[in-house]
A and B are shown apart, each in its own frame.
Chain A
Amino acid sequence: MTTSAPTTKIGFAEMLKGGVIMDVVNTEHARIAEQAGACAVMALERVPAQIRKEGGVARASDPAMIRAIQSAVSIPVMAKCRIGHFIEAQILEALAVDFVDESEVLTPADPDLHIDKHAFRVPFVCGCRNLGEALRRIAEGASLIRTKGEAGTGDIVEAVRHLRAIRTEMRRLTMMGPEELVNEAKRLGAPLDLVARVAKEGKLPVPQFAAGGIATPADASLCMALGAESVFVGSGIFLSEDAPKRARAVVLATTHWRDPARLAEISTGLGEAMRGTQVSSLPDDARLASRGV
């Protein structure tokens, strides 16, 4: 009998496909998310837009709030740890969270290295901007990959950039001959065995979700159309005018992304979306996506 082998870790990520994982900061939000049809919640003390605004060092959440959210809902509960902070990850595993997000949204703890995720029984999700980053995280043991996007902005442009980069690089790989793969692995900075696997199968060996800047149902559908298999929504729901309505709409738009007539209905009368910040107006040091590459 094996607990939490790759089959059950990646298998759990399969169960989350076609769904929406919502950032929640308290039990009230968690219940709204569950009621709206979220397939999981991410428990954290401040949503990315608040972290961006308030500044300071962003760390893993107080176990008390994570426990409270775990008892408030029946759906899976995820939580974030800082990049490279394996002790925070051990604490989250001790709390029996269902997934750990080693996240660039929190202030990185290690300037160079990510966590050795193979050493954990709890599965990990990590962010990436391109295929090389995705494969490095998978090599470290991530069971699920998401785009980084630019969290807390409500601007979808970076998530789109990252989804397109991954798709283009995967397509390139599928057209290469075996003699080209070693150089390509070197260029991507990724292990050859994973590069060869993507070249053969044309997709990542773990599910691929989108995150960072999703603020409308149409944003969620756009990510799905560009190859994402589910979406994470951070600030976009609970910083909008009518969170329950928007949460439900994003859930519907993630399932029915191929149906524009349905999306027109879904997008109607949701109240104001989060105001947001244009990514192009951000100075380089305010960009979270360049953390932990």
Chain B
Amino acid sequence: MRIGILALQGAFDAHARACEKLGHRTTEIRKVSDLEGIEGLILPGGESSTQLRLLDEAGLAAPLATRIESGIPVLATCAGAILLAREVRSPTQWSFGLLDCTITRNAYGRQLDSLETVSDDGRVPLVFIRAPRIDSVGSRVEVLATYQGSPVLVRQGAITAATFHPELSADLSPLGGVWTSEHPDRNLMGRRGGKEGDEL
């Protein structure tokens, strides 16, 4: 599968390495013509305010939105999830509004508060870096994992969004199923085993 990674600023390199380990080809997206021929899309972490300015300058916002609305599988992590959210707080900023949730930037504090932990159900390894918090989700959004009660991994249609960094974990298995169209959430949460659907 050929996955386009938005490479304006941020963790595009870490995502490329993770994709390669999972056997996918990747292409860096910096201009509109780079979107041709991609079968999946990653919006990586980084500084969302920087990414927004660069999106605007490159004239990429509208073509990207069209592509996402067309139903291409999307993985958005951290700043990427902020870009997709319906509403962004702290500070308020423009977003695509394609993921029905409200999200607060740097909600857990500064870099000193960055941490490695696991989801509330113990099944998903979480690397948080100056992470945002999803405060609320709309009815179309399925919550796949939580931390301290807040959603950290969600899915809406073909969009999978994480407030943490699966690409930085030693165990990349939570990423394995993101690109699979059949039963994507079951693949994504492969290790939920018999308890699938229990407490989430």
Name A residues whose Cβ lies closer than 8 Å to a Cβ of B.
Answer: 1-5, 7-9, 11-12, 14-19, 34, 36-40, 74-76, 93, 96-99, 121-123, 229, 248, 251-252, 254-256, 258-259
- When the two chains form the complex, which single residue of A4, A18, A254 contacts B114, counting CB atoms closer than 8 Å? A4
Once the chains bind, are B45 and A15 in contact (CB under 8 Å)? yes
B11 contacts the other chain (Cβ, under 8 Å)?
yes
Name B residues whose Cβ lies closer than 8 Å to a Cβ of A.
Answer: 7-14, 30-31, 45-47, 49-50, 53-54, 57-58, 78-79, 90-91, 105-106, 109-117, 127-130, 165, 168-169
Which chain A positions have C-beta within 8 A of B78? 15
Which chain A positions have C-beta within 8 A of B112? 3-4, 93, 96, 98, 121-122
Interface of B is mostly: loop
Once the chains bind, are A18 and B49 in contact (CB under 8 Å)? no
Could you list 18 examples of A-B contacts with CB < 8 Å?
Answer: A1-B117, A3-B116, A4-B112, A5-B116, A11-B127, A15-B129, A18-B8, A18-B46, A36-B53, A37-B50, A39-B9, A39-B50, A76-B47, A76-B111, A96-B109, A98-B111, A251-B53, A255-B58
Once bound together, how far apart are the Cα atoms of A17 and B127, in whole Å?
18
- When the two chains form the complex, which single residue of A34, A74, A98 contacts B105, counting CB atoms closer than 8 Å? A74
Q: Which 7 residue pairs spanning A and B have beta carbons closest together?
A: A37-B53, A98-B111, A8-B114, A18-B9, A1-B117, A39-B47, A11-B168
**Chain A residue at minimal CB-CB distance from B114:** A8
Once the chains bind, are B115 and A1 in contact (CB under 8 Å)? yes
Which chain B positions have C-beta within 8 A of A9? 114
How many contacts A-B (CB < 8 Å)?
Answer: 134
Q: Which of B53, B58, B112, B168 has the most CB atoms of chain A within a 10 A radius of its CB?
A: B112
Once the chains bind, are A17 and B10 in contact (CB under 8 Å)? yes
Once the chains bind, are A3 and B114 in contact (CB under 8 Å)? yes
Given A39-B47, A75-B50, is A17 in contact with B106 using a C-beta cutoff of 8 Å?
no
- When the two chains form the complex, which single residue of A8, A75, A76 contacts B116, counting CB atoms closer than 8 Å? A8
Can you add 17 more A-B contacts, CB < 8 Å, to A1-B116, A3-B116, A12-B129? A2-B115, A14-B14, A15-B78, A15-B130, A16-B10, A17-B9, A17-B10, A19-B46, A37-B9, A37-B49, A39-B9, A98-B110, A229-B13, A251-B53, A254-B9, A255-B54, A256-B30
